[in-house]
Structure 1
Amino acid sequence: MIRSGYKQIFQVKVLHSYFNDNVCSCLDFVPSDSTMKMMQRFGLILRSQIDGFSFYCSTKDSLINYLNYIEKVTNEISFNFNVHSKDIYFNLITDLPTNWLGTISFNSENKTNTFSKKGRELKGVFLKKDYTGSLARLEINFKDIVQLTQQNSVAEFVIKFKSRATQWQYYIINRSSVKLDNPKISSKTDMSFEGPFKTTIATGEEALLFTSGDHLIPLAESPNYKFSLINEAIKDDNSQNKRTSSKVILNGLPNPTPERIGFKVDTITKLVSSPMYVYI
C-alpha cells in the first residue's frame, strides 16, 4: 500500500493478446541508474502491479512544478527503465521479427505513439545495434507526463504486444492401424487445413501432414480453437444415400504451446510454423 500523502506521477500498463484477458504479468521494470538516483534523492516510489507499475511522489506541489524542479537540479528530463521478461518463452509467443536479437525502445515522445481517452499507447522501435540484454527500454519524459495529466488528470502509458501467428502443422502418425482412407481436420469455424500430405518424420515413421497453409493462427495461453481429426466417408455416387457420414478419430486436437511448438522459420516464406505430432 502507498502511504497517504503520495500522489501518482504516472502509470504504465502492459497488454498482451497471448495471455488470458490480455493480462501480461511476466515483465519486470527495473529503474536505470539515473532514475534510481532520483528515486533515492526525492523519495520516489515504484509500485509493481500485475500488468505494469505505478510511479509515486510525496510532494504537495503540482506535478508540473515538481518535475520542473527535478529537471533543474538533476538535468534529467525523463524516467528510464530496463524491461526484463520472466517468461522464457516471451520471444516465441510474441509477434517479434524473426531472427531478431536486440532491444525494443519505448519512448513517450515517439511521434508514432497514439492517443486515446485512456492514455498514450507507446509504439516500440526495434533496435539491433544497441542490444543490452534487456527485452526493452522504457523512457517516460517529464513533458509527456505533464501533458497527459493536464488532458486526462492521470498520466497512463500503455504498451501492447501481439501474439505471434504461426502456420499450424499437424503430423498424424498412425500406430494403431486405424482406418484413415479419407482423413480430414474439421472445425465448427470456417477455418480449413490443407492436406493430407504423405511425409516422413525425424524418427523415420510415416505421417500425414495437415497445415493451415497461408492462414496464420495466433498462439494463445488457453486454447481458442477446437479441431478434430475425422475420417470422412467417401460418397458413393451409385448409392441412393447421398449423405456423407464421418467418423471422429480424435476429438480435440492439441493447440500449440511454448513447451511443445518448434520455432522453425521457413527460408522461402519466412513464416514461423508450429509443428504438432499426433499419435493415434
Structure 2
Amino acid sequence: MSAYRSLFRVCVAHDFFSDGRCPGLEFIPTQHTQHIMGNAGLLLRRRGDGIVVSYDEARLASLEMYADDSDDPLCFEFKVYAADPEFRSYSEPFGAGMAEMPYFDNRGAAPGAVVRLHGSDYVAEHDLVALDSDRLGSMMGQKDRLLPPVFVLRIYAHHGRQSLLADWLDGDGVEYRIAFRSRRTYWQYYVLGEMAAQDARVVDADGRLEFEPLGRTTLAGGRDALVFRSTKDIPLHQDYDFRLQLSAKSQQGERVLIKRLPLACVSRPGMETIAGHGTVVSEIYVNS
C-alpha cells in the first residue's frame, strides 16, 4: 500500500478575511508539471488556503531521478485562479486593468522550513510582471492572456547548485508562504432623500473613524446628495465591526437619523483626486 508524505506546501494568507487565510484559490499545474507529477508519483491535494504536494515513498527513486537531471532542472509551475471574481478589487497591489499580475518563485529566498515567496511582508508592486513578460516563458497561452490567473508560481528544486530535495524530504516538508494585503480605500457617503436636506454628519459610535463633510452635489438624474468622506483610507474587510451612524443636531442635542449605515463593499471602487493624488474611493449611497 502506498504511503504519501508531504513534500512541500503553498499557503496563501490575506488580511481581508477574518481568519487571515485566503480561500477559494485553484492551483492549476501546467501540462509539463502534470507530466512530471504523474511520472514521479506525486499527489496534489487542495487545502483551505493553498495546496500540498505529496510524494509516494515507494516511488522516491523516480522523484530523485527528476531532481538529479541537470539538463532539465526540476520545477513545479502553477497558474492560480480565484473563485471570487472580486479578488482583484479587494487585494493589493492589483491595478485597474489586467495587464499585470504577481509572479512568485523561490529562487531569491533563503532555503528553510518556512519560505516567504516575496521580499516585503505583503505582495507588493515589485512582484508584478506583465502578462507577456519573458519571465513567464511558455506558462501563459492566448486564453490565459484574455482571462489571466490572479498569480503564477514556480517552485524550483534547486537553490543555485544546491538541491532542495533533502529539505523537502525532511519532516513535514517545506512550507512556502504568500501574503496579500487588503486594498485600502477612502469611504465616501452620498446621502440622498429627505435627510440630505438636514444638517447631518457621519459619526463612528466607537470613535475610531472620522468623516469630513464635502458639501452638496447633484448626481445623475438631478438628485441632490450630501457627501461625506473618511479622513483616512480604510482597509476593505470581509466582516467589519464598525458602527457608523448618520446623525444631526437638534434643539434637544444630537439625534441619530440612521443607527447603522451600510459599509463599503468590495465591488465598483472609484477614483478621486485627494491632496493632488489619484486615490481609490469606495462610494456608498444612502437613500432616505
TM range (shorter): 0.7 to 0.9
Larger mean Cα displacement after TM superposition, 92-101 or 78-87: 92-101
Partner amino acid for 1:137? Answer: V
- 1:92 aligns to 2:89 (yes or no): yes
After superposition, the C-alpha distances for 1:127-167 in whole angstroms (9 at most, x for unaligned) are 02437422211111113654754887530011111111101
Larger radius of gyration: 1
Q: Which residue number corresponds to residue 157 of structure 2?
A: 142
User: What TM-score, normalized by structure 1, do the two folds share?
Assistant: 0.82
1:60 deviates by 4.7
Partner amino acid for 1:88? Answer: P
Conserved 8 A contact 2:245-2:261: yes
- 1:223 aligns to 2:240 (yes or no): yes
After superposition, the C-alpha distances for 1:69-92 in whole angstroms (9 at most, x for unaligned) are 213357232111111111110110
Q: Which residue number corresponds to residue 252 of structure 1?
A: 260
Query: Separation in 1 of the partners of 2:49 and 2:17?
Result: 11
Larger mean Cα displacement after TM superposition, 186-195 or 36-45: 186-195
CA RMSD of superposed structures (Å): 2.8
Larger mean Cα displacement after TM superposition, 89-98 or 136-145: 136-145
- 1:274 aligns to 2:282 (yes or no): yes
1:190 deviates by 3.1
Conserved 8 A contact 1:102-1:135: no
- 1:262 aligns to 2:268 (yes or no): yes
The answer for unaligned runs of 5 or more in structure 2 is 134-139
The DSSP-based 3-state class of the residue aligned with 2:278 is: coil
Query: Separation in 2 of the partners of 1:176 and 1:42?
Result: 69
- Identify which of 169, 191, 212 aligns with 2:230: 212
- 1:166 aligns to 2:185 (yes or no): yes
The DSSP-based 3-state class of the residue aligned with 1:37 is: helix
Distance change (3 Å), C-alpha of 1:196 and 1:146:
same
Query: Separation in 1 of the partners of 2:39 and 2:225?
Result: 65
Partner amino acid for 1:262? Answer: R
Distance change (3 Å), C-alpha of 1:177 and 1:217:
closer
Partner amino acid for 1:270? Answer: G
Partner amino acid for 2:36? Answer: M
Conserved 8 A contact 2:184-2:233: yes
The answer for unaligned runs of 5 or more in structure 1 is 235-243
Query: Separation in 1 of the partners of 2:196 and 2:270?
Result: 30
The DSSP-based 3-state class of the residue aligned with 2:194 is: coil
Query: Separation in 2 of the partners of 1:72 and 1:180?
Result: 75
- 1:120 aligns to 2:137 (yes or no): no
Q: Which residue number corresponds to residue 106 of structure 2?
A: 108
Partner amino acid for 2:41? Answer: G
Distance change (3 Å), C-alpha of 1:60 and 1:151:
closer
Q: Which residue number corresponds to residue 12 of structure 1?
A: 10
Number of residue pairs the alignment of both structures matches: 260
Query: Separation in 1 of the partners of 2:195 and 2:33?
Result: 65
The DSSP-based 3-state class of the residue aligned with 1:270 is: strand
Conserved 8 A contact 2:206-2:242: no
Q: Which residue number corresponds to residue 45 of structure 1?
A: 43
Query: Separation in 1 of the partners of 2:56 and 2:48?
Result: 23
Query: Separation in 1 of the partners of 2:63 and 2:212?
Result: 59
1:104 deviates by 1.2
Q: Which residue number corresponds to residue 186 of structure 1?
A: 204
Query: Separation in 1 of the partners of 2:169 and 2:68?
Result: 21
Conserved 8 A contact 2:6-2:172: no
The DSSP-based 3-state class of the residue aligned with 2:228 is: strand
- Identify which of 53, 56, 75 aligns with 2:54: 56
Distance change (3 Å), C-alpha of 1:177 and 1:277:
closer
Larger mean Cα displacement after TM superposition, 268-277 or 161-170: 268-277
Query: Separation in 2 of the partners of 1:152 and 1:51?
Result: 21
Partner amino acid for 1:218? Answer: P
Partner amino acid for 1:275? Answer: E
- 1:27 aligns to 2:42 (yes or no): no
